[in-house]
Amino acid sequence: MGLRIIDQKQLQILRDYQPKHRAQKSLMQAAVAMILRDGECGTEVLLMQRAYHPRDPWSGQMAFPGGKIDPVDKTSKAAAIREAFEEVGANLTEQDYVGQLDDLYGLKMDKIFTVHIACFVFKPDRDLNLVGNEEVADLVWMPLAHLQDRANAHEMVHPTDPSIVTPAVMINEHKSQILWGLSLRMLSNLNTVLGCEMAVLNQEQIKILRDIENREVSPDIAESIEAEMRDA
């Protein structure tokens, strides 16, 4: 059964879930906030389209609010809350917090991952006064029902490693809003925790998403990634 609305029973499943924490070496430690709300089409999730910038390795991509964990952050969840406020004006509190999903990693190069991301789920019981900062080109409340329509299935060549053709979800073709990569993997994890299928992906595509962090990139690509990560 597909996920269209997250009810109180499913929220409790998320609260009780024990995420898989991992501590493998990575170039960057980051945290994101997956913010949910109930809309006319069921439960929706907040996505932001990053502004286009030549020095941003994630320029123009769809993502959850979040970013690098700074020394001032007491915890990775604190980093997610801080970044959500700085990027989109979401004033999240502990009362809004639901639970945490499994840690994820980006691509691997010479046995070191590009990024380690912790994902925290929030569901405020009030409207958020959202305003994107200079890093944000657009904000989108995507209904989870969008992931249940196979017509939204898409695929793309990985922008960093052209040898990888990765599953994706088309949100808005006119605005080049494509959901893929770590953000799509997090939503796949959400559905898995709640015991729901995600019809927009078939089993082969789900396996590709799960296995992608085990792929080693070539040395020339690794050099390019390291330069981008230093500038991020």
Q: Where are the alpha helices (DSSP H) in the chain?
A: 8-16, 76-88, 181-193, 203-211, 219-231
Can you give the pLDDT at residue 53? 76
Higher pLDDT, 227 or 187: 187
* Domains in the chain: boundaries: 8-216
Q: What is the dotted CATH code of the domain comprising 8-216?
A: 3.90.79.10
Exposure string (b/e) for 153-190, b if CB count within 10 Å is 16 or more? bbeeebebbeeeebbbbbbeeeeebbbbbbbbbbbbbb
pLDDT, the chain, mean = 90
Alpha-carbon distance of 109 to 219, in angstroms, equals 8
What is the end-to-end Cα distance of the chain in Å, rounded? 39
Can you give the pLDDT at residue 213? 86
State the average pLDDT over residues 70-98.
97
Can you give the pLDDT at residue 164? 84
CA quadruple 195, 42, 17, 107: dihedral positive or negative?
A: positive
| 109 pLDDT above the threshold of 90 | no
Local structure of residue 99 (DSSP, 8 states): E
Can you give the pLDDT at residue 89? 97
Confidence of residue 220 (pLDDT cuts 50, 70, 90): low
* Two tokens, residue 167: 């599953």
CA distances from 49 to 30, 53, 131, 178 (A): 18, 12, 13, 9
Alpha-carbon distance of 69 to 117, in angstroms, equals 9
State the average pLDDT over residues 54-79.
89
Task: Find where tokens 């958020």 sit.
Answer: 128
